[in-house]
Amino acid sequence: MACMVSIISLILILLISVTVVAQEPASNAQTFYDDSKRGWFWYEVQPDPPPTAQEPEEPAKTKPVIIFPSMKDYKYEQLWNMHPDEFQALLMQFQKKAVMTPSPDNVYDYLTMQDIARKKSLAYANTVAYVNQAHPELTVKDEYPVAAPGRAAKTRLEQGEVDNTLRASGNDFALLYFFSPDCQFCQAQSQILQFFTDKYPSWQIKKTDIQTQPAIAAQFNVRTVPHIVLVYKQSDKAFPVATGVTSMVEMELSIYRAIRLIKGEITPQEWSTYNFQKGGSFDPVLKK
């Protein structure tokens, strides 16, 4: 009985399907089967999108025409009296021309420009030498000698001024030496400080261990050791002298300059100026 019902149901479904197909326009069914992209086992393919309007092509960019100078357009006197900026620009143009097209004529023109520049520079240098000899007050040979004996004499003047200043300042100034017991660099700096006190016995050096006295180190903004600070006994003024291992000569010079700055003998603009240079060519604040 169940088998008969299933057969009857299948016959009804087939009849309904035939009726629906018969009712569809013949053209649609024919189009469906004629289209090779459609069928029982194919996904329906979407139509191709309509062609988009093409953007207009940009006009081809033309390369700029490079016009190089020609030596035929210039006279020697004109080049000799030309403004330096204009001459430099023209020289570079001749160079680019020679590099771009290294023909004998182009290279010759560039070397001609170089020859003019060389002669012009020589003329200037010769004139400077003449003016220096005619007006020696404009030179620094009297304060900065070139000859070896003169350089030795200048060094003696500088070192003598440093020594005299330090020997005369031991009662008014002192050094704070910040160190750490386990610092190998501090041990090397301690030996140099011993040389300093042997040479300047009037100076006092207070050693401060930053591990046991961190507050004092923080007061003087000490972050690394060895570190040396110059203090003025007659006030609360202090000035750093050296950080890290510093040689004897460098330490003496730093202390000398700091003393003069604290006492108001120099300004920061005169930091490297010695007393014997005051009023001369190496005095940066000299007012004529």
pLDDT of residue 126: 96
Query: Tokens in use for 207?
Result: 């050693």
Question: Residue 42 domain-assigned?
Answer: no
Number of structural domains the chain divides into: 2
Q: Do 164 and 115 fall into the same domain? A: no
Model pLDDT for residues 44-77, shown as the tens digit of each residue: 555 556 667 677 777 767 767 778 999 999 999 9
Place of tokens 């090397």: 188
Question: Residue 21 domain-assigned?
Answer: no
Domain that includes residue 95, residue range: 71-130
Q: Do 106 and 184 fall into the same domain? A: no
Give percent helix, percent strand, percent coil of the chain, each to the nearest 5.
55, 10, 40
**pTM for the whole thing?**
0.64
Q: Do 163 and 114 fall into the same domain? A: no
Q: Do 209 and 262 fall into the same domain? A: yes
Q: How far apart are CA 243 and CA 228, in angstroms?
A: 7
- Residue 30 to residues 38, 47, 48, 230, 259: CA-CA distances in angstroms? 11, 18, 21, 108, 111
Q: What are the per-10-residue average pLDDT scores of the chain (288 residues)?
A: 53 50 48 52 54 70 80 94 96 95 95 96 95 88 86 94 97 96 95 97 96 93 95 92 96 97 95 90 76
Q: How far apart are CA 229 and CA 242, in angstroms?
A: 7
Q: Do 258 and 176 fall into the same domain? A: yes
Q: How far apart are CA 175 and CA 231, in angstroms?
A: 6
pLDDT of residue 162: 97
Query: Tokens in use for 130?
Result: 């003449």
Domain limit, last residue, from 81, 102, 130 = 130
Q: Do 89 and 175 fall into the same domain? A: no
Q: Do 269 and 171 fall into the same domain? A: yes
Model pLDDT for residues 81-101, shown as the tens digit of each residue: 999 999 999 999 999 999 999
Q: Do 247 and 157 fall into the same domain? A: yes
